[in-house]
Structure 1
Amino acid sequence: MELLIEHRPVNGYVVYGFPWLAGVSLARRMALRASLTEYRRIHGLQLSGVFKGRRAATEPSPTAFTDLLDASALSDVYGVIVPGLSHLGPKHLPAERTGLVEATGARLLMARRPRIRSGHVPRQQAAHRRFPAPLLALSTES
């Protein structure tokens, strides 16, 4: 999964969003929208559309996801932003759907990285960061 566009040559910065909204409250929908918008803004991306999944995520090919794949296959699309992997479906579906998105030539971008439980890392590293810190480019020429 690609997290930053600054490290790859691209023709454009067109992305599509894909939040899963089945059974989600209005407050949660607004938070998901804000998450996608903020990620787009920070990374200088153009959010050209949002495909909203509203039916059972276990359907073999929900209409919203199929439409997302069709749009992602366009030549000027950089990637697809999801709030988190859980928005691609339960259990085995995120891995399968990640492959389907990447097969179109688009990158899968996560607006929020998975949280790390504090019991698995030292206390000073347990703080959750919403977006990764920018990487510094180092020159290899002398």
Structure 2
Amino acid sequence: METLTEHRPVSGLVVYGFLRLVRVSQARQDALVASLTEYCRSHELQLSGVFTDRDASAGPASAAFTGLLYVLALPDVYGVIAPAMSHLGPKAIAAERGRWIEAVGSRLLLVRKPRTAHHSISRSGPVRRRHPGTTRVLDAES
């Protein structure tokens, strides 16, 4: 009889980080890498590297993102982790990059979930309505 999974060594899922850092201080860069590292540690993920896009004028196929796509094609790679969706670039580029990540069979994990707030007017004034948006792929309990 085999032992339960909890009694066998299981390695973490392999992920790669992606940061968009245009005119960012070294302290800010270190803090963002630390946030990715901590998220991976707390969710039992193995952060195998971080790709950094520093060119604000780069399109969706920047050198850093192209490199990321190559490693996502490696066996046993689970996905990409970013601090927020904005690290994939402006909205149109981020959406395209998100589709490319999914197309290679990987997951996109975000440390911070996107904020979605919609405003409407009522008789008593503006009311902020929150609608469920995209959430983290992994909850804090996982």
Query: TM-score when scaled to structure 2?
Result: 0.72
1:50 alignment partner in structure 2: 50
Greater RCO (CA < 8 Å, at least 6 residues apart): 1
1:28 is displaced (CA, Å) by 1.6
Q: Do the aligned residues in 1 keep the contact of 2:15 with 2:81 (CA within 8 Å)?
A: yes
- In the TM superposition, what are the counterparts of 1:1-142 in structure 2 within 5 Å? 13-56=13-56, 58-115=58-115, 119-121=128-130, 132-134=139-141
1:134 is displaced (CA, Å) by 3.0
- Give distance in 2, aligned partners of 1:57 and 1:85: 18
| Count of aligned positions | 118
Poorly superposed stretches of 4+, deviation over 6 Å: none
- Give distance in 2, aligned partners of 1:132 and 1:115: 16
Query: TM-score when scaled to structure 1?
Result: 0.72
The one-letter code sitting in structure 1 at the alignment partner of 2:113 is: R
* Bigger Cα Rg: 2
Pairwise CA RMSD? 2.6
1:91 is displaced (CA, Å) by 2.2
Q: Do the aligned residues in 2 keep the contact of 1:58 with 1:89 (CA within 8 Å)?
A: no
Q: Secondary structure at the match of 1:56?
A: coil
- Cα deviation per residue 1:84-127 (whole Å; 9 max; x = unaligned)? 10011112111110010111111110011123559334xxxxxx
Q: Secondary structure at the match of 1:15?
A: strand
